[in-house]
Structure 1
Amino acid sequence: MSYLLNHDDLESLLLGACFFGSGGGGTLTSARSLLAQFHAGDYYPRAQVRVVSVDEATDGDTVMVAYLGSPVAINGAHFPQGPVGAVIAVRERLAREKRTLSYLAPPESGALGFLVACLVAAHLGLAVIDADGAGRAVPSLPQLTYAAAQISPRPAFLVSQSGLRVELDVEPSEGENGAQSQRQDVATIIDQMMRPIVSQADFKQFGGLAMWIMAPAELARALPVRGTLGRALRLGRELQAGRLRSADELVNYLALQFDVRARPLFPQGTFVAAEAESRNGFDLGKITIRAGDRLCTVLYQNESLLVWDSSRSSPICMAPDTISYFVEGDGQAVYSNGDLLLPDGTLNPALLQRKVTLLGLEANPVLRERNGLILNSFMQLLNTIGYLGPYVPLTGNASTAAGSAA
C-alpha cells in the first residue's frame, strides 16, 4: 500500500537507513544538509513524497537515481541538482520514445541513497518505490540487484551539481544490450568509467547518476529486496524516540520486527582512532575500536567491508554482510563512517567517551549467491584491500560470538 512521507518522516528515515547502510550510503551530515531545504516552495512544489510498493508501480517506467562519489564531498550540497538533472535526461529520452517516467528507485539502503530518491521525486512529481538494490549500501554498481538481474544499463547519465551532463552508452559486441556476461561487463565498465569522471574539477568528487531504466514487467526481478524504506522509517522512529537504548534491545527489535538476524561482532568498547582519504570518488579508511587489550579494525571503501579482531587470525565479518555501529548514551545512536569523522579526517572527540557495539547483519540471500555477480564483485573488492580468502558468511563464522577469544 502506498504512503506519504513528510519532512519529519524523512528525518526518521535517515536514521534507520544509516544503520542499515553498513557504514556507507552517504553521511547523515550530507543528507541533513539536503533535508533542511525540503519545504514547499519554488524548488519543491509539495513537501511530501509518495512511496509505492513494487507491485503498485505499474503506471509507467522506473529509473534508479543516486549520488555517485565521495560521501564527504557531498556534505555541502543543499539541493540535489545533479540527480535531478540526470533524471530529467532520462525523462526526455523516454518521452522521445513515447514512454512515461513515473517512479524512482533508490540504489541501496543508506541515508543519502533513500533521501536523494525522495527529494528528486518530490521536485519532479514522481513516486519512490519501497525497495532498493541491496538492502545495504555498496561501493560499486555490479553489487546491486539491477546488475544481477541483467537490466540494461544503457543509457546512463551522470550530471554535476553545476549541470555538466555526461551520457555513457556502452555498446556490447552482441545485440542491442549484449549477452548475459556482457551485460554484467557493461555495468562494471560504466562504474569504472564514472569514477575518474567524478574526480574531474567540474564534478568535485561526486555527481548525480540515473541508470537502469525499467518497464513495469522488469521490476519484480530487478528489486527482490523490498520494503526497505518502510523498515528504515520504523527503526528510525524507534531510535528518535529513545526506545532502543542498548545493542541487545536493538538486536531483539530487528529480529521481532523485520526477521533480521544481527549479532555483536566484538565486545562493547570505545572508538580510539580513524584514518580516511578521498580518492576516485571513494572515501577510503579504517576505524579502530578498543575493548580491553583487544583492538577491532573496520576497513571501509565508503561502506564497511571487513572487520578484524586483534585476537583472531581471520576476519570476523566481511561484505556482503552488513557492518553497523550502535553507540549508547545520550545523543545520536547510529553513524556512517563519514559521520564519525571531523572535516580534517580525524575521529570526532565527542565519541571517545561513549560505548560502541559493532553489529553484523546477515546479508539478503540474493547478495550471497555463490558464483553470482554480486558476491563475486564483493570478493574482488575485498581482494584489493588485502583479503584473499573465501567468503565466510556471518552465520558460519565462529568468531562472531562477542567476547570470545581464540
Structure 2
Amino acid sequence: MAYELRRDDLEPLLLGGAFFGSGGGGTIESARHLAAHFNIGDYYSVDTVKVVPVDEALEGDAVMVAYLGAPQAINSAAYPFGPVQAALAVQERLASQSRKLAYVVPPESGALGFVVAVLVAAKLGLAVIDADGAGRAVPSLPMLTFAAAEINPRPAFLVSQNGLSVELDVKPRNSKNGDATHQRDVSTIVEQMMRPVVADPEFGQFGGLAMWVMAPDEVARATPIRGTITRALELGRVIGRGQIRNVTELIDYLAECCNINARMVSRLGRLVSAKVDTTSGFDVGKVIIQSGEQTYTVIYQNESLIAWDSERAQPIVLAPDSIAYFVGGNGQSIFSNGDLVQENGRLNPEIGERPVTLIAWPAMTAIQKPGLALDSFMVLLNSLGYLGPYVAVSSSRKESESE
C-alpha cells in the first residue's frame, strides 16, 4: 500500500538504509546533510513524498536516479542538484515522446541512495517506488537488477553539481535492449565511461545519474527486490526508539521482521584503523577490528566486499553477501565505511573504545544466483586477490559471542 514519507522520516530511513547498505550506499553524514535541507522554501515546494509499491506504479514511466561517485566527496552536497537535473533531462526526453515520468527508483539500499531518490521525487513532483536494484549497495552498475533485466540503457545522463550534463549514448546491437551478453557489455562500458567523467575536476569525484527508464511492465521485471525502503524505514524507527540495544536483539529483529538469517561473524572487538583512498569515484580501503589476538579485516570499494578473520585461511564473508557494523554502548550504533573515518583521516571519535561487531547475511536471491550480478561481483573479488568460488555466508561456520 502506498504511503506518505515525511521530513521526520528521513533520519530513520537513512539509518536503516545505512545498515542494509553493506558498508556503502553513501555515508550517513552525506544523507543527513541533504535531509537537513528538506524544508518547504526556495528549493522544495513540498516536504512529503509518496512511496508506492511496485504493483501500484502504473501511472507512467520510472527512472533509476542516484549519486555516482566517492561517498566522502558527496558529503558536502546540500541539495541534490546533479540527480535532479539528470532526472529532469530524462523527463524532458520522455515528454518529447509523449510519455510521462511518474516515478523514481533508488539504485540500491543505502542511506544516500534512499534519501536522494526521495528528494529528487519531492523536487520534481514524482513518487518513489518501494524497491531497489540489489537490496544492498553495490560498487558497479552491472551488479544491479536493472542490468540483469536488460532494461534499455538509453537515455543515461550524468550531471555535475554545477550543471554540466553528459549524455552517455551506448546503443545495444541487434535489438532495442540487447541480449543478456550485450547488456553486460553495455553496463560495463557505461560504468567505464562514467568513472573518468566524475574524476574530472568539474565533477569533483561525483555526479547525479539518471538511467534505465522503465515502463510499468518493465518496472515489475526489473525490481524483484521489493519493499526495501519500508524495510529500512522500520528498522531505523526501531533503532531510533532504542528498542535494539545489542547485536542479539538486532539479529532477532532481522529474523522476525525482515526474514533475514543474519549472524555475528566476529567477536566483540575494537576499531583500530580505517584506511581510505579516494580515486576514480571510489572510496577504497580497509577496516581493521581487533578482538584480543584476533584481527578482523573488511576490504571495501565504497561497499564492503570481503571480510577476513586472522585465524582462518578463507574469507568469512564474500560479496554479494552483506556485511554490516554494529557499535555497542551509548550513541549511534550504525556506521558506513565512509562514516568511520573523518576528513582528516582520523577514526570517528564517536566510536572510540566502544565494542564493534561484524554482522553478515546472505544476498538477495536476485543477485546471488548465477548471472550478470554475481559474475560482476566475482570479477571484482578477483581484482582484489580472491580467486576462489562464491560461498554464501549461510554455509560458513557460525562464530558468535553475545553481548
Query: Structure 1-normalised TM-score?
Result: 0.97
Distance of 1:324 and 1:278 partners within structure 2: 21
- Structure 2 counterparts to residues 139-150 of structure 1, below 5 A: 139-150=139-150
Equivalent in the alignment of 2:87: 87
Equivalent in the alignment of 1:54: 54
Distance of 2:204 and 2:317 partners within structure 1: 33
1:6 counterpart letter in structure 2: R
1:275 counterpart letter in structure 2: K
- Structure 2 counterparts to residues 349-360 of structure 1, below 5 A: 349-360=349-360
1:376 counterpart letter in structure 2: D
Deviation at 1:402, TM superposition (A): 2.7
- Whether the 8 Å contact between 1:272 and 1:352 is mirrored in structure 2 is no
- Whether the 8 Å contact between 1:65 and 1:209 is mirrored in structure 2 is yes
Equivalent in the alignment of 1:401: 399
Task: Give identity over the alignment, percent.
Answer: 58
Distance of 2:311 and 2:163 partners within structure 1: 50
Deviation at 1:184, TM superposition (A): 2.0
Residues 193-215 of structure 1 deviation map (CA, whole Å, 9 limit, x = unaligned): 10010000110000000000000
Residues 90-110 of structure 1 deviation map (CA, whole Å, 9 limit, x = unaligned): 001000100000000000000
Quick check: 338-347 or 377-386, which moved more? 338-347
Equivalent in the alignment of 2:379: 380
Deviation at 1:359, TM superposition (A): 0.1
Q: Secondary structure at the match of 2:56?
A: coil
Does residue 200 in structure 1 map to residue 200 in structure 2? yes
Equivalent in the alignment of 2:342: 342
Equivalent in the alignment of 2:30: 30
> Gapped runs of 5+ residues in structure 1?
none
Query: Structure 2-normalised TM-score?
Result: 0.98
Equivalent in the alignment of 1:391: 390
CA RMSD of aligned residues (A): 1.1
- Structure 2 counterparts to residues 207-222 of structure 1, below 5 A: 207-222=207-222
Deviation at 1:39, TM superposition (A): 0.6
Residues 343-386 of structure 1 deviation map (CA, whole Å, 9 limit, x = unaligned): 0233223323101110002110111112x000000000011111
- Whether the 8 Å contact between 2:150 and 2:177 is mirrored in structure 1 is no
Deviation at 1:174, TM superposition (A): 2.0
Deviation at 1:180, TM superposition (A): 2.5
Deviation at 1:183, TM superposition (A): 1.8
Distance of 2:3 and 2:145 partners within structure 1: 24
Equivalent in the alignment of 1:106: 106
Deviation at 1:172, TM superposition (A): 2.9
Distance of 1:97 and 1:49 partners within structure 2: 26
Residues 112-137 of structure 1 deviation map (CA, whole Å, 9 limit, x = unaligned): 00000000000110000000000000
- Whether the 8 Å contact between 2:361 and 2:394 is mirrored in structure 1 is no
> Gapped runs of 5+ residues in structure 2?
none
**Matched pairs, number:** 402
Distance of 1:391 and 1:180 partners within structure 2: 21
Deviation at 1:178, TM superposition (A): 2.3
Equivalent in the alignment of 1:131: 131
- Structure 2 counterparts to residues 297-336 of structure 1, below 5 A: 297-336=297-336
Residues 308-358 of structure 1 deviation map (CA, whole Å, 9 limit, x = unaligned): 000000100010000000111111010000001110233223323101110
Residues 271-329 of structure 1 deviation map (CA, whole Å, 9 limit, x = unaligned): 01111110000000000001110000000000000000000001000100000001111
Distance of 2:108 and 2:179 partners within structure 1: 26
- Whether the 8 Å contact between 1:43 and 1:123 is mirrored in structure 2 is yes
- Whether the 8 Å contact between 2:70 and 2:206 is mirrored in structure 1 is yes
Distance of 1:59 and 1:138 partners within structure 2: 29
Quick check: 136-145 or 39-48, which moved more? 39-48
- Whether the 8 Å contact between 2:152 and 2:176 is mirrored in structure 1 is no
